[in-house]
Amino acid sequence: MKKAFFELEGWEERIISQHFPLITRTYVSDPNEVFLSKDKVDDFTLPKQNDFEIISIFVNSRITDRVLSAFPNLKCIATRSTGFDHIDLEACKKRGILIASVPGYGDNTVAEYAFGLILNLTRKMFLSIDQVKETSSFTASGHRGVDIKGKTFGCIGTGRIGKEAIKIAKGFGMNVVAFDARPDEAFARENHVDYMSLEKLLQTSDVISVHCPYNEGTHHLINKNNVSLIKRGSYLVNTARGPIIETEAIMKGIEDKIFAGVGLDVLEEEGETRDEMRFIAEGHPQEKELKTIIQNHILMRQPNVIITPHNAFNSQEALERILNTTLENVKGFEGGRPLNIVK
Ligand code: NAI
């Protein structure tokens, strides 16, 4: 089968070539050859060759119906990620294209990162670091934070990553409350977790951390209507997906001083925010998208907001696990034994 891997970093190419020795960066003519590229795939960036049957992508690609029509022979997309909201599932289904993902490559990786954001906010570490680096001033004045021990950790989504986050929270001596569409009662009993409604979680938590997937049911789960339920002086962290929280709700929460701090590894319209020049030049910007991009920039400048560029997955160990599972997914599909297929 003709295969292509997109959005690659150099070290990944070395590992892929150990599994598929015939590689090319120009044109695949032999089905045993693999096309390797650093480029992402989206409406604006399509490769010259289009007869691949399997493509592997990362989260910065956007697989739309238009992209799919550019790959008439495509049978499988192996995404090197847990989330798959960058792929139009319905369009794939209609065309009989399977999607293989990487479940559970870095549950601890993302949970550890969420706590990195939480401690940065609660202890104002980012401000102290900036001050020392930028001014060489060694004064702690203005950097007093709060302890997290004894505070309430509100976990939205208690799957693989949420459970790791809960264990870390317990390690810090926090009380844990949770909201999930499908509560895991056995885990809750064992780990002393209190499941409750989203509304009650928002009212109860000192630190809210989002760990559910983005889907129809989680679109704007936290929004401008329910943000006012959130406890004054609490912290909000999102390492899941941007559109789970309405950007306007974050703006409102900051303006109304509901949040003492907000940490975001993901943003609504993050692709467009990353590549604004191209979006404006080549896309068809809608008023809502432009508004969100401007709001993202306003948030970036807020003193109590820290934003990182979708980086929570990005540890060496996690990336190696992602690539190894993806290679198994590609080989499995090729060998007639599809693995980790998104249902
Ligand atoms: P998972 O599938 O193990 O757990 C998700 C949990 O969310 C499940 O318990 C599920 O019941 C719950 N859930 C689903 N729909 C819900 C709804 N409407 N309301 C409340 N709860 C709901 O997923 P996992 O591995 O824990 O990953 C969670 C998300 O983290 C991924 O979908 C992905 O978007 C994000 N992620 C972000 C990364 C980053 O680099 N920032 C890296 C990896 C994952």
The residue with tokens 């701090």 is 261
Which among 241, 268, 269, 272 is annotated as catalytic? Answer: 241
**Which residue has the CA at smallest separation from atom 33 of ligand 1?**
83
Spatial contact of 46 and 70, defined as CB atoms under 8 Å apart: yes
Q: How far is the CA of 29 from the centre of ligand 1 (A)?
A: 39
How much is the pLDDT for 297? 93
**Which residue has the CA at smallest separation from atom 36 of ligand 1?**
240
How much is the pLDDT for 121? 98
How much is the pLDDT for 168? 98
**Which residue has the CA at smallest separation from atom 29 of ligand 1?**
213
**Which residue has the CA at smallest separation from atom 11 of ligand 1?**
182
**Which residue has the CA at smallest separation from atom 30 of ligand 1?**
240
How much is the pLDDT for 84? 95
Q: How far is the CA of 142 from the centre of ligand 1 (A)?
A: 36
Look at phi and psi of residue 310 and say left if phi exceeds 0, alpha if psi is from -120 to 50, else beta.
left
CATH of 3-105+316-334, one of 3.40.50.620, 2.20.28.10, 3.90.550.10, 3.40.50.720: 3.40.50.720
Q: Is 241 a known active-site residue?
A: yes
- Candidates 156, 179, 193, 212: which one to mutate for ligand 1, based on the most atoms within 8 Å of Cβ? 212
β 98-100/76-79 pair status = parallel
Q: Is 278 exposed, middle or buried (0-12, 13-18, 19+ CB in 10 A)?
A: middle
Q: How far is the CA of 241 from the centre of ligand 1 (A)?
A: 9
User: Which CATH architecture best describes the domain 107-307?
Assistant: 3-Layer(aba) Sandwich (3.40)
The residue with tokens 């409102």 is 252
How much is the pLDDT for 31? 86
Residue 119: which of 231, 237, 276, 6 has the closest Cα? 237
How much is the pLDDT for 39? 96
Q: How far is the CA of 217 from the centre of ligand 1 (A)?
A: 12
Q: Is 13 a known active-site residue?
A: no
Q: How far is the CA of 294 from the centre of ligand 1 (A)?
A: 27
Spatial contact of 104 and 160, defined as CB atoms under 8 Å apart: yes
Segment 314-331, tens digit of pLDDT: 999 999 999 999 999 999
Q: CA–CA separation, 133 vs 126, rounded Å? A: 11
Q: Is 297 a known active-site residue?
A: no
**Which residue has the CA at smallest separation from atom 2 of ligand 1?**
159
Segment 37-48, tens digit of pLDDT: 999 999 999 999
Half-sphere exposure of 49 (CA within 13 A, CB side): 20
Where do you find CATH 3.40.50.720 in the chain?
Answer: 3-105+316-334, 107-307
How much is the pLDDT for 204? 98
Q: How far is the CA of 184 from the centre of ligand 1 (A)?
A: 14
Residue 211 Cα: closest atom of ligand 1? 28
Ligand 1 site, CB within 6 A: 82-83, 104, 110, 157-162, 180-182, 211-215, 217-218, 239-241, 265-266, 310, 312-313
pLDDT < 50 positions in the chain: none
Give the chain's end-to-end CA distance (angstroms, integer): 23
- Candidates 211, 266, 321, 322: which one to mutate for ligand 1, based on the most atoms within 8 Å of Cβ? 211
Q: CA–CA separation, 134 vs 113, rounded Å? A: 24
